[in-house]
Structure 1
Amino acid sequence: MDWDNLRFFLALARTGTLVNAARTVQVDHTTVSRRIQALEKQMGAPLFAREASGHRLTEAGRHLLPQAEAMEAAFLSIESSSLVTQEGLSGLVRVGVPEGLGTQVLAAPLAELARQHPSLVIDLLALPRLVHLSRREADIVISLERPTRGSVVVTKLSDYVLRLYGARDYLAQHAPIASMDDLAEHTFISYVDDLLFSKQLQFLESFFQPQHFGLRSTSVLAQYQAVRAGAGLAILPAFIGDRDPALVQLLPQQAQFQRTFWMSMPAEIRHLARVQAVWQFLRDVARKPQSGLLPQPE
């Protein structure tokens, strides 16, 4: 049986659509369709039911899935033993992380890791949404919520702190803030409520009910830039806000929140040398004080 056809089968089974499967294996969707048809001809049975919402596994497809996953695990194990070269690690590792963490904390260290291993390629997916392991969008995912489904390896990466910030220029032109009551006179910047990708981002309303929003965005970096521009106050990760001398932390006793980053990967790739190396590297980065993740004394 052609392993390449099974690779396309797994991509479609995990993503549910030809377009998403094509994106996963980095080919055109017509190639995925052609490969699936070839595999179905070889198997002598349809593996997917074509529906308006996408492709759903048939009984034959469900029967093939665990066997294909076992072959995938065996292939990855062989690949792992062959991809540690004299120059070091080799191959591709895709890491999916929340936008702020990826851009402000992880991008530079990961770039240095890749520099040390010229045969290693790291795809950093720093996105304002959840990156799905189940769809194989990434090899390693850092998320705000602990994964509870699927065969995955999970570890707590780190706690991190969020605080209330305002720009120095903004604060110089608006009413002083000495207590919670003073916040009523100020404009806030926050997330778009109905587009939150994690309930862990619901912290502002539990702390204060703003009367006016100047800007709301799905991007924490857009919120940060809006605060810097003097558009209002915002709750930001300390690893962003504390590093900018243009921002001032406000009401430190009342306006401080703690959340957790969880790191996970599919169990079947946990023995890949390149994945293990990046996994441990990320843990080491998170433990360093300069990451800004861990709570720092005032």
Structure 2
Amino acid sequence: MHIRMDWRSVTFDWTRVRAFLVTAEEGSLSAAARALGMSQPTLGRQVEALEAELGVALFERTGRGLRLSPIGHELLEHARAMGDGARALSLAAWGQTEALEGEVAISASDAYAAYLLPPILERLHRAEPRIRIDIVVSNDLSDLSRREADIAVRNVRPTAPDLIARKVRDASARLYAAPEYLDRVGRRGTAAEFSDAEFIEIDDQGSLMHLLNDSGFALTGANFPYRCRNFTVMWEMVRRGMGIGVIDDRIGDNDPHVVRALPGFGPIGFPVWLAAHRDIARSRRLRLVFDALVEGLGP
């Protein structure tokens, strides 16, 4: 016997399903509440309401938090499919608009957001004042499929199949210092002469030290009295004469407060990519902003 279900009788509340999905993916109510921008009690009530609506327990409450129940595991994939469908609907509707107005979110690292994007966005605003730009400052790869941003400036090639990407240039980073710092420690002509110089590390893994040592320096942890994971803060420390730092030469060479610390040292190359969702790229507004970024960040 064939049973036909009338979809009009299905009354799922997507807000509750989303609460379950994000809680399952984040692993706790507190983390899910932060991700959704709501209070933990409100989120908990939504999850409990969905459990009551479905008549099943989606999570097992343990002393250490929440754990998906067997039925929760089974329903999670269906919830993800609903989430993908909701995002696809939103993306399709967003991409169909032809109006050159509205908001565009651009994700970029702190250094690019602070030093390279402003003149590009200023020119764009003069040309199209009805477009509003939301700058998402992040050194992580934003999930464009989930609309954390519409366009992302990245230093690695995006591989997700639902994204389009364009390499806008091969960039170069160099070592910079304030002139007064170099005057204080003495100007050096080779990498080996920097054994007692002070540098500002950029992450917890000692990436700058390892990179420089692979290029002829002989540095140890003693050469790095400061570590800063924010490039704009690191750059301000360099400008104040606190040590030597590395940054994109478009930023460093245009800053009158610094000079190249070792002019003969070869550049550190890295790519600059722009990425956007394939569906979003059909929007005139998004294409205009995307093209403005290509022109502004390109060679």
Provide the C-alpha distance between the structure 1 equivalents of 2:218 and 2:78, rounded to a whole number of angstroms: 53
Q: Is the 8 A contact 1:270 1:276 kept in 2?
A: no
Residue ranges of structure 2 left out of the alignment (5+ in a row): 1-11
Once the two structures are overlaid, the 10-residue window that deviates more, 66-75 or 133-142, is 133-142
Deviations 1:57-101 (A, max 9, x none): 43433333333333334434444455566853546x554432212
Provide the C-alpha distance between the structure 2 equivalents of 1:187 and 1:200, rounded to a whole number of angstroms: 12
- The answer as to 2:157 corresponding to 1:130 is no
Provide the C-alpha distance between the structure 2 equivalents of 1:51 and 1:35, rounded to a whole number of angstroms: 19
Residue ranges of structure 1 left out of the alignment (5+ in a row): none
Alignment of 1:103-122 (within 5 A): 103-107=114-118, 109-110=120-121, 116=128, 118=130, 122=133
- The answer as to 2:215 corresponding to 1:204 is no
Provide the C-alpha distance between the structure 2 equivalents of 1:245 and 1:34, rounded to a whole number of angstroms: 56
Deviations 1:146-171 (A, max 9, x none): 566x7652635443211011212222
Alignment of 1:120-159 (within 5 A): 122-127=133-138, 129-131=139-141, 133=143, 136=146, 138-140=148-150, 141-146=152-157, 152-153=162-163, 155=165, 157=167, 158-159=169-170
Letter in 2 for 1:191: I
Provide the C-alpha distance between the structure 1 equivalents of 2:283 and 2:35, rounded to a whole number of angstroms: 18
Provide the C-alpha distance between the structure 2 equivalents of 1:94 and 1:23, rounded to a whole number of angstroms: 20
Match of 1:88 in 2: 100
Letter in 1 for 2:279: H
Provide the C-alpha distance between the structure 1 equivalents of 2:264 and 2:196, rounded to a whole number of angstroms: 20
Alignment of 1:236-255 (within 5 A): 236-255=247-266
State which structure, 1 or 2, has the greater radius of gyration over its C-alpha atoms.
Answer: 2
Deviations 1:238-268 (A, max 9, x none): 2321220221124344341012345556xxx
Q: Is the 8 A contact 2:142 2:149 kept in 1?
A: no
Alignment RMSD, CA only? 3.7
Provide the C-alpha distance between the structure 2 equivalents of 1:201 and 1:90, rounded to a whole number of angstroms: 44
Cα deviation, residue 229, structure 1: 0.8
Cα deviation, residue 108, structure 1: 5.2
Letter in 2 for 1:271: D
Q: Is the 8 A contact 1:89 1:273 kept in 2?
A: no
Structure 1 SS opposite 2:214: helix
Q: Is the 8 A contact 1:214 1:231 kept in 2?
A: no
> What TM-score, normalized to structure 1?
0.74
Structure 1 SS opposite 2:38: coil
Q: Percent identity?
A: 25
Provide the C-alpha distance between the structure 1 equivalents of 2:24 and 2:145, rounded to a whole number of angstroms: 9
Provide the C-alpha distance between the structure 1 equivalents of 2:234 and 2:70, rounded to a whole number of angstroms: 48
Question: Greater strand share, 1 or 2?
Answer: 1
Compared with structure 1, are the counterparts of its residues 187 and 132 closer, same or farther at alpha carbon in structure 2 (3 Å cutoff)? same
